[in-house]
Amino acid sequence: MPKLPIVLAGVGAVVVVGGAAIVLTQKDSSDTKQSSTSSSSSTKEASGAKVNDPQGTYAFFSDPSVTKYPAKNAVFGNGQTLTFEYDGSKTNNDEYATLSYQLYYIQDNGGVIAMGGGNIEGKGGKGTFTMNNKVYTSNADGRQGFLELTGTTTAGTSGTNIKLGMYPVKFQISK
């Protein structure tokens, strides 16, 4: 059997088979460029999807003041209820404090897109807070993402935001 020469050509390969050449190329996309220029430490597994996160912005964390939070990859949307228990310590047990959230979803290329957010039901410095949300018309359906939890306490006429956690979630669009 004759040997099959393989010639590497930049971003592809040429395979010669019995006088005919087959050209194999690598798709030159932003995904390829991004992964070749970023270090392996900047791309990590989070929520089961690869995320380009060199600063660790989306790394899971939960402040000890959040004593209960949803399980990893809990479903957000389609009427699912998520529950948080918060001891109030980071917002000085302010009776007017609110907990709010910001949502992000992961794109195929590892980029993260902000989706918006809102307030979680309940007010006061501590207690159980729930959210029962529906998401309509979004590219996030079926995707992994993150829910950032923030506490806001009042101070005169302005408020102070305190980051309480970053939790991996999975989005489900209401039908």
Tens digits of residue pLDDT in 115-156 = 888 888 776 678 888 888 777 677 888 899 999 999 987 766
42 pLDDT more than 70: no
pLDDT of the residue at 7 = 40
pLDDT of the residue at 156 = 62
98 in the same domain as 160: yes
167 pLDDT more than 90: yes
CB 102 within 8 A of CB 133: no
Q: Which domain holds residue 23?
A: 1-37
114 in the same domain as 147: yes
164 in the same domain as 93: yes
pLDDT of the residue at 169 = 94
Within a domain: 56: no
Partner residues linked to 49 by β-bridges = 46
Within a domain: 48: no
Within a domain: 45: no
CB 7 within 8 A of CB 22: no
Calculate the average pLDDT of the chain. Answer: 73
pLDDT of the residue at 50 = 82
Question: In this structure, what CATH number is given to the domain that contains residue 150?
Answer: 2.60.40.10
The number of folded domains in the chain is: 2
Using a cut of 0.85, tell me whether the model's pTM lies above it.
no
pLDDT of the residue at 86 = 92
69 in the same domain as 13: no
Within a domain: 78: yes
CB 69 within 8 A of CB 84: yes
Partner residues linked to 101 by β-bridges = 118, 149
109 in the same domain as 32: no
CB 66 within 8 A of CB 166: no
Query: Which candidate, 92, 82, 98, places its Cα nearest to that of 150?
Result: 98
pLDDT digits (tens, 9 = 90+) for 44-93: 444 456 888 888 889 999 999 999 999 999 999 888 889 999 999 998 88
Rounded to 5°, the CA angle 124-126-130 comes to: 85
98 in the same domain as 18: no
150 in the same domain as 98: yes
